[in-house]
Structure 1
Amino acid sequence: MEIQINFRIAAEQDLDKIVEMLADDVLGSKRERYEQPLPDSYIKAFQTITSDPNNELVVAYQGDEIIGVQQITFTPYITHQGGWRATIEGVRTASSSRSKGIGTELIKWGINRATERGCHIVQLTTDKERPDALRFYEKLGFKATHEGLKLKL
C-alpha cells in the first residue's frame, strides 16, 4: 500500500498541532508546554524560524490533518571545504499515525530537501533515552560517527 503524504512549510495555524505532537511522548511531555493559549515562546520561535531562509519547519499532512513535523536547519561550514550541511531536529509523528511509515517519508523528504539545497551532510541527534529512534535512523542509513555533547543553559 502506497502512503499518500504531502509536505509543506508550516504555517502559523499549524503551530498548535506541532506543539501537541512535540509534547505527546515521554520525553516531550517533560519539556514542552502544550496548553491553550500556547505560550508566547512558541509563537516567537515560530516567527524567528520562518523569517530565517536557512530554517524550514516542515509538516507532513494527509487531507487537512497534520501528521508529522520536522525542522531543518541549513548551515554553512568552513570545514569540509566550506560545504553546507542540514540538521534535522524536532521530528515527530502524530500518535494516531505512528508505525505507518510516515516518519520514514518525513526523513526521506528532509534528505531530498538537503540535496536540493546543495548540502553534503545531513545530521541529526536523538536522545539516548530513545533507542528505538536510534535504530530507526540507522535503518535509514544514518551512522553514529560522532559523540555529541550538550551544555544546558
Structure 2
Amino acid sequence: MGDLEIRAAADDDLPAIVAMLADDPLGAQRESPDDLAPYRTALERLAADPNQHLVVAVRDGRVIGTLQLTIIPGLSHRGATRALIEAVRIQADERGSGLGTELIQWAVGTARRLDCVMVQLTSDKKRPDAHRFYERLGFTASHEGFKLRL
C-alpha cells in the first residue's frame, strides 16, 4: 500500500468521484456518471467558495475516497461555527481498510483548525452500517433530520 494523500478535488477527479457517489442502491437512483457537465458546474461553485472543501483520498495515483466538508458560520451557540460532512464515499475495494476513518479524522481536524465548535452530518436511514461507523467514531444520533425536495 502506497502513501495516502488527502487533497482538494480537481476536475480530473470527477469521473472517480461520481462513480463512487453512484456505487450503491441509493446513489444509483440519483447520480448520472455518463453526464459529468452538472458535476463540473458544481465543482466550479465549490472551488469558488472558501467554506467548501471537496476532497479526495488518493493512493498510488488512484482516487479511492471522497467527502465534502462545509463550514457554516452561525448565530446560535453564541455565534459558533459548525462543520457539516457530506457525501462520504469509499471505493468498494477499499471499504473496511480504515480509509473512511482517516477521511473523517481529516474532516474533524480541519474543522478544529477552522475554529468550529461542532461537526455534524446526516446519514440516510437506509444505511445502518454507516450509522454504526459514525457512532464508533464518537458521533451521536442526537437529532431527527428532515428534508423538503424542491
Q: Residue 49 of structure 2 is aligned with which of 52, 55, 67?
A: 52
- 1:29 lines up with 2:28 in the alignment: yes
Contact 2:14 2:36 in 1 (8 A): no
Distance 1:6 1:86 in 2: 21
TM-score, length-normalised on structure 1?
Answer: 0.94
Instruction: After TM superposition, give the deviation of residue 4 of structure 1 in Å.
Output: 3.8
After the TM superposition, which residues 89-108 of structure 1 pair with which residues of structure 2 at under 5 Å, given as runs? 89-108=86-105
Partners of 2:116 and 2:19 in 1: how far apart? 30
Q: Which runs of 5+ in 1 are unaligned?
A: none
Verify the 8 A CA contact 2:2 2:60 in the aligned structure 1: no
Does the Cα contact within 8 Å between 2:70 and 2:83 map onto a contact in 1? yes
The alignment of Structure 1 onto Structure 2 pairs a total of residues equal to: 150
Give 1:9's aligned residue. 8
Provide the TM-score with structure 2 as the length reference.
Answer: 0.96
Shift, 1:39, TM fit: 3.5
Contact 2:2/2:59 (8 A) holds in 1: no
Gaps of 5+ in 2: none
* Seq. identity, %: 48
Q: What CA distance in whole angstroms lies between the structure 2 residues aligned with 1:41 and 1:3?
A: 32
Secondary structure at 2:147's aligned position in 1? coil
Give CA-to-partner distance per residue, 1:38-74, whole Å, 9 cap, x none.
Answer: 3321111110011100001011111201100000000
| Structure 1 equivalent of residue 122 of structure 2 | 125
